[in-house]
Amino acid sequence: MSAPVQGLRYPWPEPPAPGGWMEVAPGVLWIRLPLPMVLDHVNVYALDEGDSWTLVDTGFHSKRSVAIWEELLKGALGGKPVSRVILTHHHPDHIGMAGWFMARGASLWASRTAWLMSRMLILDEEDAVTPQAVDFWKRAGMDPEILAKRVAERPYNFADVCAPIPVGYTRLKEGDVLRAGGRSWDVREGNGHAPEHLTFWSREDNLVLSGDQIICSISPNIGVYPTEPEADPVGEWIASCERFAALAREEHIVLAGHKRPFTGLPFRMRQLKENHEHGLDRLAAFLSEPKTAAECFSVLFKRKIDQGTYGLALVEAVAHLNHLHREGRVARVLRADGAYLWQKRA
């Protein structure tokens, strides 16, 4: 193993190349797939079932992804079919190829919310921005130039990067035991990044398949969207961190949806929780004078927010403000231009 880095250790210092793979435990393959985004990869895992494979997540659906998977099926997966796809959560970099595998005979397993949202969002193809989205962005104080550009463009659709998912799936929920890859996995649900996000904790060894709920060097985006503008995902995130902290052991090997596998899970659970708690405290202090959500980036984020990260920053700022509002720590008023002004309560 490499030397400790901020309480974490990395059993495999280098990840597979894009489209590559490595075995991280008997019958468990770590596969890295490219993404055309700032976060330029997603990790998926293949579990050997003997005469077939179970996949945990799938990557985007694109011509490039199809070509990569066809090569993986012939090479890394040894010509054996994928008989089952398990979704950790409903985001497109995790569900994109699920329908492609289902068309080739795989069954789909997911939480109820992940399945419903995946299918709904793939079917819900929009050619223009909805009035609800425009109102949400205005309330968040979105930069007028960015707002005008978004309104003029066709919005991003899940169908752009996700194969259609047909009717029919097997539900997984908190407390279930999943049999896969020669192991029994305890199913634990998290929230905050995505509702009913599934994680899997092996009973036979120290493996944890964590999806985006637990990642080594980044905190997953925790955002509020026009679909549920009063949501409190930050509160759900903190509660999930507390539940997972009670399960965490130093020897767990966490196989996450991004970045590298790691050990040191107790430290990481504390870190993930405290990261947002400290952010909330900084934000509350910053709001001694009224601000819009878009004016809160500097206090929440330690990097420059550009066009590529503006949308994610905005929904995360709203999420933290919603949590402070729910706790009674800040008040908000609607400005004449439709933006909320948030201010710390006296």
3-state secondary structure 303-337: CCCCCCCHHHHHHHHHHHHHHHHHCCCEEEEECCC
pLDDT tens-digit series, residues 129-153 = 999 999 999 999 999 999 999 999 9
pLDDT tens-digit series, residues 169-184 = 999 999 999 999 999 9
Domains along the chain with CATH numbers: 21-123+158-288 (3.60.15.10)
Confidence class for position 117, pLDDT limits 50, 70, 90: very high
183 vs 301: CA distance, rounded Å: 40
Of all residues in the chain, the percent with pLDDT exceeding 90 is 95
How are beta strands 53-56 and 82-86 bridged, if at all?
parallel
Of residues 305 and 238, the one with the higher pLDDT is: 238
24 vs 263: CA distance, rounded Å: 13
User: Average per-residue pLDDT in the chain?
Assistant: 96
Q: What is this structure's pTM?
A: 0.95
Confidence class for position 247, pLDDT limits 50, 70, 90: very high
